[in-house]
Structure 1
């Protein structure tokens, strides 16, 4: 079993991990509160939410299994070395579980609040169905071969893919509307803080162990931080630089044909 060489780095590792947990966990609430106050989800892209739920569900499965299963941990150490630490911390388990609950609640808000004619796109629904059907097939394969580490790696790959995919509809909607109205920037600022501190936590473990296995042994967590930071910067630029003056204004009615149907709503139906 691997042990920490530096108490200071271990303390910093824990502090950064829980700062990431708090920032990422709180990041879900500005959007939930905004929806509640407006009694509307107009401006929030529905595809973003359902892809996000798929992403966090996959990430929760990966974290919970690797953190609690001794057999999976044994397979991990067999692959990467018996002296390597498990790259999942308690804050990872807490965050991913909380994220699934809050994203599911946001999805519930979509069905009870005003949404005009915004809708889930058929493309996104098809993607989600294919993802979970593929995951089910992988479960049967893993049961036959007892390849548990491979199986949770599949879920880790799913969460990375969904992390990249989920932001695109919202980025595109903001671009087409030339507005970020209805999409909480507080969510993004806290998400950025969580991504930076999460990456810092991994760095502390790697420095202490003098090994980069922590990064490529849990490539999903590494890419989660990097991809989140990349898209958070895009959202911040959209909100504060590209479309700040139009945030509180009524948007002009445009032709609905200008928005491809796969992004879930017509332009005139997405305006505030």
Structure 2
């Protein structure tokens, strides 16, 4: 297994990693606090939260397995070379655990607080069901030959797909309501900071090792950062430019608007379906 060549770069790597952990972890709290203060989840898209739980659960399985399992690490080295470093850090595992917990708390708030006519769409339930069904089937495919690294790539693909589509319902809802009222921008600003730091962490490792293997060895982490930053910019523009200071007069989402949100979700999920899953 490779070791660090530069101590300053190693320190920078650790600092960026834990900065990303802190930013991403804290990013869950503004929405939870906003829901608690308002005693309402109107304005928060439920599909976003449900898809987010599947995304973070898949990412937790990937991170924890690759970080703790010596058998899976051996398969990684056999594929990418023993001179490479494992592309998962302790902060990745810590973040995933925290993310699953906080997303579950947000789901609990959805169950107990005022939500108007909002509900989880059948499309999202279907997407989540298919994702876990695919994971289960792939587990039994991997079992005979102990193809655990391949199985982890499946979970990594699932989390990338979920990351890509989970923002769509919220972005569409903001557009239809012409407001970001009820959706915490603090969440987005911290998520944006974490995404930049996460990407920077991988760049630092590549510079130290003079190799870019960690990018395609953990393509999920790369895409997680890039996709998150892309949608964060959209939300920032919606909040500070397009709908700045606008309070929604619509506490409930109409049936027509729900249909439009589902249409965008279906269309995007069809385009994002991975060929290798």
Whether the TM-score (by the shorter chain) exceeds 0.5 is: yes
Aligned to 1:267: none
Contact 2:53 2:104 in 1 (8 A): yes
Write the distance in 2 (CA, Å) between the matches of 1:251 and 1:21: 35
- The corresponding residue for 1:24 is 24
Where does 1:1-272 land on structure 2 (aligned, <5 Å)? 1-246=1-246, 248=247, 250-251=249-250, 256-260=255-259, 263=262
Using a 3 Å threshold, how does the CA distance of structure 1 residues 240 and 216 change in structure 2: closer, same or farther? same
Aligned residue-pair number: 263
Q: TM-score, normalised by structure 2?
A: 0.92
* Aligned counterparts of 1:259 and 1:92: Cα–Cα separation in 2: 35
Change in 2 beyond 3 A, CA 1:131/1:252? closer
How far off is 1:258 after superposition?
4.5
The SS at the match of 1:9 is: helix
Residues 125 and 261 of structure 1: CA distance in aligned 2, closer, same or farther (over 3 Å): farther
State the Cα RMSD in Å: 1.6
Alignment gaps of 5+ in structure 2 = 264-277
Cα gap change, 1:70/1:253 in structure 2, threshold over 3 Å: closer, same or farther?
A: closer
Question: Which whole-Å CA distance do the structure 2 matches of 1:117 and 1:228 have between them?
Answer: 28
Runs of 4+ displaced beyond 3 Å:
251-256, 261-264
| SS of equivalent to 1:260 | helix
CA distance 1:155–1:41, shift in 2 (3 Å): same
5+ residue gaps, structure 1, are: 265-272
Q: State the 1:39 CA deviation.
A: 0.4
Residue deviations 1:121-176 (CA, integer Å, cap 9, x gap): 00110110011011001111111121000001100000000000100000000011
Change (3 A) 1:255 1:34: closer
Q: Judging changes above 3 Å, is the alpha-carbon distance between structure 1 residues 255 and 103 closer, same or farther for their aligned structure 2 residues?
A: closer
CA deviation map 1:4-32 (0-9, x unaligned): 00000000000000000000000000000
| Alignment TM-score, normalising by the size of structure 1 | 0.94
CA 1:249–1:146 in structure 2 vs 1: closer, same or farther (change >3 Å)? closer
